[in-house]
Amino acid sequence: MGKEILKVLFVLVPILLQTQVAHGHHSFATHYDTSNIVEVSGVLSSVKMRSPHSFFDVEVITNDGKKEIWEVEAHAAPILRRLGISQDTLEVGDLVSFRGPRSRRPEKLLLFGAEINTSSGELFETLNSIRRAPDYAISDTREGITGIDRLTGKWMTFISGQKVSESPLPLNQAGLQARENFNALVNSSSECIPSNLPSLLMIPYVYEISRDGNNIDIFHEYAKVRRPLTLGSSVPNVTDLEYGKRIGRYEDEALIIESDGFPAMSAGLASGWEPNGNGADIPSSTQKTLVERYTVNNDGSILTVDYTVNDPAYLLEPYTAKIIWYRMPFDSPIYDFTCDTEIASRSTQNAAVLKK
């Protein structure tokens, strides 16, 4: 296949995209319209595999012979790498096709690359890949592993995502007003401020739990957040105050982590990209508390995180929910996640202001 410019195709019919999709840093629902699916084919003129998102520019020829540059947003580099997409997979000058929902801003030639077809014939389904448990989720086959050691290893979570609708959090009047005041064009995402807890527990990146005696460490591939704690200690562990002061214990086959001392955060209770935010960040105050409870099923393949978050400044009562993590192979790679402020701002500015 030569390097000639291909034509752009507009496909205004649904493909296998659900209206609720996960997006690792900003609200997908405020950016893209899943009822308006387009496909563009052409020559890559720019490739930026970065974090928190990646961007590709595609030079295309429309059906009437006009040349256009389409912008394609995609997942962060670690997610693409896990799918098998590297800098060598997509290079400037390659012929490529992208298919996915178009921007909610009609003036922009922009879509999200839900499907990527390379010139070599490879097909990558990027949205579906983070919406379901992986085929490689495994049981724990280690011999003689008991107690808290059953929690150790690498895990991944997959969520249905969010849409622009009400939050399930029991928001009081201040919480409702804060959500109403959310500006999709000016928020923490554009400043590379990582998602806070409990949002941090829902991101489809690798989580690694390790143990050394009474010392437990939870490492989040996303933003390279590390949350260590000492079991049974009454002295809280503090590494980054944004993630609170932690104490932990192991009882009744569960790791229990209690955190307080959080600073006020603009997205401290929920991020717009996840189900608790549903299209808008929800702030937290210094009164925020969080209790996490980690348990593993019989064969060690599934870890359940039950959490209760409370903040009287914005919630009528504590909110309890659960998240499922799936065990990954122990040799699964952990990729570097370094937020690029230029990319973060570019992504945020693609949002449309929608009524929540």
Kindly report the number of other CB atoms within 10 A of residue 48's CB atom. Answer: 15
Within-domain flag for 137: no
pLDDT, tens digit (0-9, with 9 covering 90-100), for 148-160: 999 999 999 987 6
Phi, psi of 255 (to 5 degrees): -85, 120
| CATH code where residue 70 lies | 2.40.50.140
Kindly report the number of other CB atoms within 10 A of residue 143's CB atom. Answer: 5
Tokens of 200: 């941090």
How far is it, in rounded angstroms, from Cα 345 to Cα 351? 11
Domain that holds residue 64: 28-129
Percent of the chain scored above 90 by pLDDT? 75
Statement to judge: residues 99 and 212 lie in one domain: no
How far is it, in rounded angstroms, from Cα 146 to Cα 137? 20
Statement to judge: residues 223 and 333 lie in one domain: yes
Radius of gyration of the chain (CA): 21
Statement to judge: residues 153 and 298 lie in one domain: yes
Burial class for 60, CB neighbours closer than 10 Å (0-12, 13-18, 19+): buried
Within-domain flag for 223: yes
Statement to judge: residues 224 and 327 lie in one domain: yes
| CATH code where residue 291 lies | 2.40.128.20
Question: What pLDDT sits at residue 50?
Answer: 96
Statement to judge: residues 65 and 168 lie in one domain: no
Statement to judge: residues 114 and 187 lie in one domain: no
Statement to judge: residues 231 and 285 lie in one domain: yes
How far is it, in rounded angstroms, from Cα 33 to Cα 230? 46
On the question of a cis peptide bond just before residue 329, with omega within 30 degrees of 0, the verdict is no
Statement to judge: residues 122 and 236 lie in one domain: no
Q: Report which of 179, 204, 283 is spatially closest to residue 23, judged by C-alpha positions.
A: 204
Within-domain flag for 141: no
Query: Which residues make Cβ contacts (< 8 Å) with residue 69, sequence separation at least 6?
Result: 45, 57, 58, 59, 60, 109
Low-confidence ranges of the chain (pLDDT < 50): 1-24, 356
Statement to judge: residues 235 and 304 lie in one domain: yes
pLDDT, tens digit (0-9, with 9 covering 90-100), for 43-72: 999 999 999 999 999 999 988 999 999 999
Statement to judge: residues 85 and 187 lie in one domain: no
Statement to judge: residues 184 and 217 lie in one domain: yes
Statement to judge: residues 203 and 95 lie in one domain: no
Q: What is the pTM of this model?
A: 0.89
Within-domain flag for 86: yes
Residue 8: DSSP 8-state: P
Count of structural domains within the chain? 2
